[in-house]
């Protein structure tokens, strides 16, 4: 196939962010144009804004099986993670000062945990298997009488591994005595639209969701906070979000987020079916053009849109730039840590050496991805790998596979 067969940009970085759905955009435009009141104001324009905001809250809650009062709108998934980790730690420190997180959590969770360590909290970083799975027995063994919070992501943003959240939460609940702790938080930003996110079924106390991962607007996320669980707000100065997050809410973003979440949950089954087929086709072709490629993450328990690979004797950033010249957009890993070029903590946690880490790529498919785009990407990738390996300082090593 000629690399001239596809003239448009081929976007394969949906795990970083998704394009805004047309229907969501159009719905938001109406709100932005017609609804200008502050939802905290008592006059008619304020009430109009308040009604739309609360309808968005109800719609998002319904989509995940929650109650309206359990939804806190935030500015992003990162903020939601921070609010969950730091807010719960501060609110429940009378029960203990120990939290547990997995070693492959999103940078927002790990950074929040590091901050708590500087405040005198103790943090246990759970190891994972070579395919990224948390061991339930190891998690339970790490729980102490003073453990107040466990945070394990539903699906990893880099390698796509899906964690056994329902089994983990069911086991955690058996450890609770008279105290309400340990509480359980999960970051579900990558899972929404790919996996069931009913909060009752999952058995979680807190859950993070980000609008920009589900074809919704950027600049808004949510934190599900189970009734009866309380936290200390990070942003103060107003009574918005029931006193849990100060600042005038963006009604248009909330409206768009609610619509995007509703669509993502409703279309999950069909989306998974379509994307899984393309993902498996993509992986099969990658091994055909590059037999020594390494697929990272769990082979079965992985997100339907995730293809994360390590390519020996290749520098990942160079490959990303070469693919970009061919119109293919992918990444070397999480968009939240790719800029600093620090080796991925996720890949290190699953035992990948630094050389292979630097030769890693993440492709993430979306609802608009086509077989033609996958074919084009495979051809482009084969050409780019060949070019890079031909100019490496050690061509004889990769050719003989002796490195």
- The structure tokens listed for 88 are 């719960």
Confidence category of residue 19, pLDDT binned at 50, 70, 90: very high
User: What is the pLDDT averaged over residues 114-128?
Assistant: 99
What is the length of the chain? 403
Given a contact cutoff of 8 angstroms between Cβ atoms, the answer to whether 11 and 207 are in contact is: no
pLDDT in tens, 143-174: 999 999 999 999 999 999 999 999 999 999 99
Angstrom CA distances, 66 to 72, 198, 254, stand at 12, 8, 16
User: What is the pLDDT averaged over residues 365-371?
Assistant: 97
Place of tokens 């979440």: 261
Number of H helices, E strands in the chain: 15, 12
Burial class (CB in 10 A: 0-12, 13-18, 19+), 304: buried
- Return the higher-pLDDT residue of 80 and 398: 80
Given a contact cutoff of 8 angstroms between Cβ atoms, the answer to whether 217 and 253 are in contact is: yes
Burial 366-402 (b: 16+ CB within 10 A, else e): bbebeeebbbbbbbbbeebbeebbeeeeeeeebeeee
Confidence category of residue 340, pLDDT binned at 50, 70, 90: low
Q: Rounded CA gap, 224 and 192, in Å?
A: 13
Q: What is the CATH number of domain 10-20+268-400?
A: 3.90.1150.10
Given a contact cutoff of 8 angstroms between Cβ atoms, the answer to whether 132 and 159 are in contact is: yes
Confidence category of residue 179, pLDDT binned at 50, 70, 90: confident
Each domain of the chain, given as residue ranges in start order, spans 10-20+268-400, 69-246
336 annotated active-site: yes
Please state, for a pLDDT cut of 70, what percent of the chain lies above it. 93
Helix (H/G/I), strand (E/B), else coil: 382: helix
Place of tokens 């100019």: 391
Q: Which CATH architecture has domain 69-246?
A: 3-Layer(aba) Sandwich (3.40)
Q: Which residues contact 389 (CB under 8 A, 6 or more apart)?
A: 313, 314, 395, 398
Confidence category of residue 137, pLDDT binned at 50, 70, 90: very high
Q: Rounded CA gap, 31 and 52, in Å?
A: 9
Query: For strand 221-225 and strand 306-310, is the pairing parallel, antiparallel, or unpaired?
Result: unpaired
- Least Cα distance to 276 among 308, 298, 302 occurs for 302
Q: Rounded CA gap, 150 and 120, in Å?
A: 17
Residue 301 half-sphere exposure toward CB, CA atoms < 13 A = 14
pLDDT at 336 over 80: no
Q: Can 10-20+268-400 and 69-246 be said to share one CATH topology?
A: no
Residue-level pLDDT at 396: 45
Place of tokens 């107040």: 148
pLDDT at 395 over 60: no
Q: What is the pTM of this model?
A: 0.94
Confidence category of residue 342, pLDDT binned at 50, 70, 90: confident
Given a contact cutoff of 8 angstroms between Cβ atoms, the answer to whether 365 and 278 are in contact is: yes
User: Across the strands, what pairs with 73?
Assistant: 222
**Which member of 189, 290, 336, 384 is catalytic?**
336
- Least Cα distance to 104 among 296, 256, 288 occurs for 296
Residue-level pLDDT at 339: 56
């Amino acid at each position: 196939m000629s690399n001239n067969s596809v003239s448009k940009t081929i976007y394969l970085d949906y795990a970083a962010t998704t394009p805004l759905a047309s229907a969501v955009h159009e719905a938001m435009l109406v709100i932005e144009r017609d609804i200008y009141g502050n939802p905290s104001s008592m006059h008619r324009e304020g009430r109009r804004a308040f009604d739309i905001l609360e309808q968005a809250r109800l719609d998002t809650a319904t989509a995940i099986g929650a109650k309206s009062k359990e939804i806190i709108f935030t500015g992003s998934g990162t903020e939601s993670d921070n609010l969950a980790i730091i807010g719960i730690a501060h609110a429940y420190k009378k029960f203990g000062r120990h939290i547990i997180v997995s070693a492959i959590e999103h940078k927002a969770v790990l950074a929040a945990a590091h901050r708590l360590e500087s405040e005198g909290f103790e943090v246990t970083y759970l190891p994972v298997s070579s395919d990224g799975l948390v061991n339930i027995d190891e998690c339970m063994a790490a729980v102490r009488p003073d453990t107040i919070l466990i945070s394990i992501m539903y699906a990893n943003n880099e390698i796509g591994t899906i964690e056994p959240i329902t089994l983990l939460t069911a086991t955690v609940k058996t450890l609770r005595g008279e105290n309400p702790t340990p509480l359980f938080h999960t970051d579900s930003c990558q899972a929404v639209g790919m996996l069931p996110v009913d909060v009752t079924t999952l058995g979680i106390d807190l859950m993070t969701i980000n609008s920009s991962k589900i074809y919704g607007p950027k600049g808004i996320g949510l934190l599900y906070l189970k009734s009866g669980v309380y936290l200390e707000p990070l942003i103060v100065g107003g009574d918005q979000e029931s006193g849990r997050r100060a600042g005038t809410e963006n009604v248009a973003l909330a409206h768009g987020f609610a619509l995007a979440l509703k669509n993502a949950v409703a279309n999950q089954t069909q989306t998974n079916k379509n994307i899984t087929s393309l993902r498996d086709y993509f992986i099969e072709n990658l091994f055909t053009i590059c037999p020594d490629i390494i697929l990272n993450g769990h082979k079965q328990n992985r997100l339907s849109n995730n293809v994360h690979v390590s390519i020996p004797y290749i520098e990942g950033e160079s490959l990303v730039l070469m693919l970009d010249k061919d119109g293919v957009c992918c990444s070397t890993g999480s968009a939240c840590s790719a800029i600093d070029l620090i080796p991925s903590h996720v890949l290190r946690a699953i035992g990948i050496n630094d050389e292979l880490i630097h030769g890693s790529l993440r492709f993430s498919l979306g609802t608009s991805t086509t077989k033609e785009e996958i074919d084009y990407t495979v051809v482009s990738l084969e050409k780019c790998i060949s070019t890079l390996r031909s100019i490496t300082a050690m061509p004889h090593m990769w050719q003989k596979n002796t490195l």
